[in-house]
């Protein structure tokens, strides 16, 4: 990787790191928000959904636009909007006596901005690199995403020591300068010419006609991994306070453990896959999904602090094994002119997984952990079966 390319990769790696703060930084603060805004656990979960659903809706449109005008022309304004939404939520928390709907509106604005961030960074990496370098670069992006998950609970808990709404303002301070830097310093791989709409639609249809079964199975594996991670983490945050009286910065450190393991595995796997010429991507995905299922099973069966922590570490390990191979398969399934929309459709599925995880797992407050986690955790069993039957590495990567 050339020196100039390394600098651009550094800026691109900031995108997933900042984007993941959108939900992860708030998770340890959710109990404080619940108490100060006077809402229930389900409503708290909806604040995660308010961010993730708009992002999931916007992502495909951001992908289409990026295929027409270029990645950074979409990504930079999106980061600025993302930061502005956080500031709106923070101001609402300060000036409104009942700030829930103001925070909700700010989270929607953030979600709209987030729709044009990480997935376009993935598409740009797919544009910039070929073959073995691509999987390494994608591993760096996923590692940055994972490091964001490690830092965010600690950062969120630390900022909440000032006031419970301080994390909202942090989004603007981090995202807006990054958006400006991306626009100035990151160079596109090629000039993007506007494509005829019908030709573009026909080409995308052809990709799905040839590969829709393995492609959608890969999408589902990535979605289930993040659905499980964010659902369990939001529930775990509440358990740490109620059951173990662990609060603030210490809670952030505890929650950082599983996601640090996830990030370390993503990074190590990216290096290994580059050296091994992408061999066995499907088997890493299957192993990861199995660990996700095992982690949730242990979460149901135990109540002790350390066994619960181990269950989260198992789940984090599984997510780390799933994400880099799935990202590689998706970004390698199409040509540069279609990569924006394909990668962003995958991103939409990921975001919907993040969106529905916390409120669904939050229903355990009403119906109990064994029933809710047992039912929601069955999604990983379905993903495992679909991955065995339908993910085909050679078919997906045949374009490249």
How does pLDDT run across 25-53, given as a tens digit for each residue? 887 888 888 889 888 777 887 888 888 78
The CATH number of whichever domain residue 363 belongs to comes to: 1.20.1250.20
CA–chain centroid gap for 10, Å, is 18
The structural domain count of the chain equals 1
pLDDT given for residue 309 in this prediction: 95
Q: End-to-end CA distance of the chain, in Å?
A: 19
How does pLDDT run across 70-86, given as a tens digit for each residue? 888 999 999 999 999 99
pTM attached to this predicted model: 0.75
**Mean per-residue pLDDT for 173-195?**
81
Least Cα distance to 29 among 117, 21, 52, 350 occurs for 21
Confidence of residue 228 (pLDDT cuts 50, 70, 90): very high
Least Cα distance to 89 among 76, 101, 77 occurs for 101
Q: Which residue has the higher pLDDT, 225 or 61?
A: 225
CA-CA distance, 62 to 177, in Å (whole number)? 20
Least Cα distance to 264 among 123, 143, 95, 380 occurs for 143
- pLDDT exceeds 90 at position 170: yes
pLDDT given for residue 276 in this prediction: 78
Q: Are the C-beta atoms of 85 and 58 separated by less than 8 Å? A: no
How does pLDDT run across 326-340, given as a tens digit for each residue? 988 888 887 766 777
**Domain limits at 269?**
3-186+195-396
Spatial neighbors of 35 by CB under 8 A, at least 6 apart, are none
**Mean per-residue pLDDT for 311-330?**
92
């Amino acid at each position: 990787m050339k020196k100039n390319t390394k600098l651009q990769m550094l800026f691109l790696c900031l995108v997933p790191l900042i984007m993941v703060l959108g939900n992860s930084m708030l998770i340890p603060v959710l109990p404080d928000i619940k108490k100060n805004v006077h809402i229930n656990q389900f409503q708290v979960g909806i604040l995660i959904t308010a961010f993730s659903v708009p992002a999931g809706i916007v992502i495909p449109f951001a992908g289409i636009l990026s295929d027409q005008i270029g990645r950074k022309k979409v990504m930079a304004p999106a980061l600025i909007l993302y930061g502005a939404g956080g500031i709106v939520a923070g101001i609402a928390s300060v000036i409104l006596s009942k700030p829930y709907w103001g925070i909700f509106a700010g989270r929607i604005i953030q979600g709209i901005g987030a729709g044009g961030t990480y997935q376009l960074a993935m598409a740009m990496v797919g544009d910039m690199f070929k073959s073995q370098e691509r999987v390494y670069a994608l591993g760096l992006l996923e590692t940055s995403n994972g490091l964001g998950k490690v830092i965010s609970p600690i950062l969120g808990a630390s900022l909440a020591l000032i006031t419970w709404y301080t994390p909202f303002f942090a989004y603007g301070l981090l995202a807006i300068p990054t958006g400006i830097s991306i626009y100035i310093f990151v160079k596109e791989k090629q000039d993007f010419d506007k494509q005829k709409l019908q030709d573009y639609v026909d080409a995308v249809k052809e990709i799905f006609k040839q590969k829709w079964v393995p492609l959608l199975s890969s999408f589902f594996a990535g979605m289930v991994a993040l659905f499980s991670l964010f659902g369990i983490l939001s529930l775990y945050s509440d358990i740490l306070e109620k059951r173990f009286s662990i609060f603030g910065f210490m809670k952030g450190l505890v929650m950082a453990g599983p996601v640090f393991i996830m990030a370390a595995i993503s990074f190590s796997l990216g290096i290994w896959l580059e050296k091994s010429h992408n061999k066995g991507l499907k088997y890493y995905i299957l192993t990861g999904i199995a660990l996700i299922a095992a982690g949730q099973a242990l979460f149901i069966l135990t109540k002790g602090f350390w066994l619960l922590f181990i269950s989260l570490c198992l789940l984090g390990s599984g997510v780390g094994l799933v994400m880099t191979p799935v990202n590689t398969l998706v970004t390698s399934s199409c040509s540069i002119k279609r990569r924006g929309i394909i990668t962003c459709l995958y991103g939409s599925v990921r975001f919907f997984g993040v969106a529905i995880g916390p409120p669904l797992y939050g229903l355990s407050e009403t119906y109990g952990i064994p029933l809710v986690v047992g039912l929601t955790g069955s999604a990983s069993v379905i993903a495992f079966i679909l991955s065995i039957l339908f993910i085909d590495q050679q078919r997906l990567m045949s374009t490249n």
